[in-house]
Amino acid sequence: MCQLLGMNCNTPTDIIFSFEGFRRRGGLTDEHSDGWGIAFFEGEGCRLFLDYLPSISSPVADLVRAYPIKSKNVIAHIRKATQGQINLANTHPFGRELWGQYWIFAHNGNLTQLPTLNNARFQPVGSTDSEQAFCWLLDQLAQQFTQAPSLPELRNALHTLSTQLAQGGTFNFLLSNGQALFAHCSTKLHYLVRQAPFCQAHLSDTDLAVDFAKETTPNDRVAMIATEPLTDNENWIAMQQGELLMFIDGAPQ
């Protein structure tokens, strides 16, 4: 199994503090050391950093810590391999383009049954169940909508498709097109919304705290989504089995 981290905000924000705790689970405070990756949307563009080294010792993770990229939608993943070798092609998040938008996907879980992808427009490059599920999702969306639908239409379509895929195993995932961040809970996913009045947060995985009141403006709103809560003094909300949330501007819809 793996761990997921997502961020969705109403103003471009860096993820340095949360990433500092999250990366420790990749080889230090937890066993997820079979590679990691993080994607940052910046406007319509997207940067995807991948490494098959553990996130705790990866030079790419050092860069992410030292270079505070500001983004409204971030998806990160640390891997504990279930299906597929440990190599770059099997490292999450995965990316594709649909309707002139970049789409980024990361999965926690294990799907033992999956629909086939005969002649599908999107094909996996690696050998994970996760990438196959992502390709199937996008292929179904492309068949249903010839151009980008409204975000509520997308949410409804994704909920139906996710429910179908979740019948084949465990399917917690994060997905974003840079406009919204979709989070599907099959077994385990938590979130919280930080907004004014901001307070101090303290990481669970290391003795590090930040006072968000000093780092933010009163209008900022940031949603964090993670497999396991990242801080030990904030009220993380456990998502329900089968729930799909669409986060826009830092708020769940």
Q: Should residue 45 be labelled a site residue for a second copy when binding is judged by CB under 8 A?
A: yes
Strands (E), 158-232: 172-176, 181-184, 190-195, 200-202, 209-211, 221-226
Nearest to 245 by CA among 158, 178, 140: 158
Find the length of the chain.
Answer: 253
Stretch that binds a second copy, among 14-22, 92-100, 214-222, 223-231 (CB under 8 A): 92-100
Least distance (Å) between residue 151 CB and a second copy = 18
Q: Should residue 87 be labelled a site residue for a second copy when binding is judged by CB under 8 A?
A: yes
Classified as helix, coil or strand, 151 is helix
Q: Should residue 186 be labelled a site residue for a second copy when binding is judged by CB under 8 A?
A: no
Q: Which of residues 116-135 bind a second copy (CB under 8 A)?
A: 119, 121-126
- Whether 2 is a known active-site residue: answer yes
Is the alpha carbon torsion for 122, 78, 188, 221 positive or negative? negative
Q: Should residue 105 be labelled a site residue for a second copy when binding is judged by CB under 8 A?
A: no
Q: Are 65 and 123 contacting, i.e. CB atoms less than 8 angstroms apart? A: no
Element (H, E) at 131: helix 129-144
Q: Using alpha carbons only, what angle is made at residue 113 by residues 108 and 116, rounded to the nearest 5 degrees?
A: 110
Nearer to a second copy, 45 or 197 (CB): 45
Cα-Cα end-to-end distance for the chain: 27
Least distance (Å) between residue 88 CB and a second copy = 3
Q: Should residue 49 be labelled a site residue for a second copy when binding is judged by CB under 8 A?
A: yes
Least distance (Å) between residue 43 CB and a second copy = 5
Binding residue count for a second copy, defined by CB under 8 A: 35
Facing residues of 250 across strands?
none
Stretch that binds a second copy, among 12-20, 43-51, 105-113, 187-195 (CB under 8 A): 43-51
Binding site for a second copy (CB under 8 A): 42-50, 59-60, 62-63, 66-67, 87-91, 95-97, 99-102, 119, 121-126, 146
| Residues designated as active site | 2
